[in-house]
Amino acid sequence: MNNPQLTASGALQHLLSVEGLPREILVQILDTAESFCGVTEREVKKVPLLRGKSVFNLFFEPSTRTRTTFEIAAKRLSADVINLNIAASSQTKGESLLDTVANLSAMQADLFIVRHAQAGAPHLIARHVKPHEHVINAGDGRHAHPTQGLLDLYTIRHYKKDFNGLTVAVVGDILHSRVARSLIHGLSILGVPEVRVIGPQTLMPARVEALGVRVFHDMRAGLKDCDVVVMLRLQNERMRGTLLPSAQEFNKHYGLTAEKLALAKSNAIVMHPGPMNRGVEIDSSVADGPHSVILPQVTFGIAVRMAVMSIIAGN
């Protein structure tokens, strides 16, 4: 088996996608994150696991939550964090991605956190780094966003305790969503019996059923008896041509309102990776309501990213 993110002995060398991760590694990440949640509540929020290591944040696409929580996580592990200012970097002078990485490697990098609009960019870097260097994918095109998928799984486990017997619905722009893909792979590895995707045909990937999901175009039918509802942002920046009549029309059919949420189980949780478009995919009454765990997701993201970095750097 040739899995580019694992070492010959099966340990995690890079985190490129949730797809292809062995179940044991996935569970190890969630369990390690749980132990780090305690650290983040202490007055001194630091552990020395990455002391002396240099973490380079390479974000070629905008990000608030992911970049910041990676930085906080690395600092809580006592690493040195370097945020590259991409707009002012040599990429704008025509330097290739691999040359940029080779130069950072010459500055003794240990970990590269990479977000790129091009699917596969983190894989390309991972193929060229030195054996002691590690790459974590922080979102590549529409392909994967593994730490978001993992923090979503962590959040579900935190509130629902167990993955057995759950019904999880992922709603909205599935087609352009790396978050949806990573989460769906994770849910399937962990054995969640029913994963639903809800959205208009134009925002569904071709052959989406092959991911093991049930497809719904009617949101009310899809939300019925769900334990977890994951809302996605309309990724307008990735849409070529018109896939939707209008944001208002989308809101009418696929926006999460309190009235539609009432069809899910009474203890259902509502998640969103952010950034949210209030009044488009989610109403404020739901985003700020009692079922919402959207802000805890952000907090859990720190512990999950600490877990991934500490496991990888220890391998």
* C-alpha–C-alpha distance, residues 33 and 38, integer Å: 9
Q: For ligand NCD, give the closer residue by CB, 122 or 139.
A: 139
Q: Which residues pair with 171 in a beta bridge?
A: 198, 231
Q: For ligand NCD, give the closer residue by CB, 6 or 304.
A: 304
Residues at the contact surface with ligand NCD, assessed by CB under 6 A:
65-66, 139, 145, 148, 178-179, 233, 235, 273-274
Both structure tokens of 184: 């769906």
Q: CA 88 from chain center: how many Å?
A: 27
Closest CA to 40 of 294, 269, 304, 275: 304
Q: For ligand NCD, give the closer residue by CB, 36 or 59.
A: 59
Q: For ligand NCD, give the closer residue by CB, 6 or 306.
A: 306
Q: For ligand NCD, give the closer residue by CB, 129 or 156.
A: 156
**Nearest-CB residue for ligand NCD:** 233
Q: Min. distance of Cβ 115 from ligand NCD in angstroms? A: 8
Q: For ligand NCD, give the closer residue by CB, 200 or 301.
A: 301
Cα dihedral across residues 34, 136, 174, 238: positive or negative: positive
Q: For ligand NCD, give the closer residue by CB, 19 or 110.
A: 19
Both structure tokens of 107: 């500055």
Q: Min. distance of Cβ 302 from ligand NCD in angstroms? A: 13
Contact between 311 and 12 under an 8 Å Cβ cutoff? The reply is yes
Taking CA atoms, 202 is separated from 50, 208, 239, in Å, by: 45, 12, 11
Both structure tokens of 190: 């962990």
Determine if the peptide bond prior to 275 is cis (ω within 30°).
yes
Q: Min. distance of Cβ 132 from ligand NCD in angstroms? A: 28
Q: Min. distance of Cβ 65 from ligand NCD in angstroms? A: 5
Both structure tokens of 157: 């486990």
Angle between helices 65-76 and 23-41 (to 10 degrees): 80
Q: Min. distance of Cβ 146 from ligand NCD in angstroms? A: 11
Q: Min. distance of Cβ 79 from ligand NCD in angstroms? A: 21
Contact between 196 and 216 under an 8 Å Cβ cutoff? The reply is yes
Q: Min. distance of Cβ 62 from ligand NCD in angstroms? A: 8
Q: For ligand NCD, give the closer residue by CB, 222 or 301.
A: 301
Q: Min. distance of Cβ 183 from ligand NCD in angstroms? A: 11
With left for phi above 0 and alpha for psi between -120 and 50, is residue 301 left, alpha or beta? alpha
Contact between 196 and 158 under an 8 Å Cβ cutoff? The reply is no
* C-alpha–C-alpha distance, residues 17 and 75, integer Å: 24
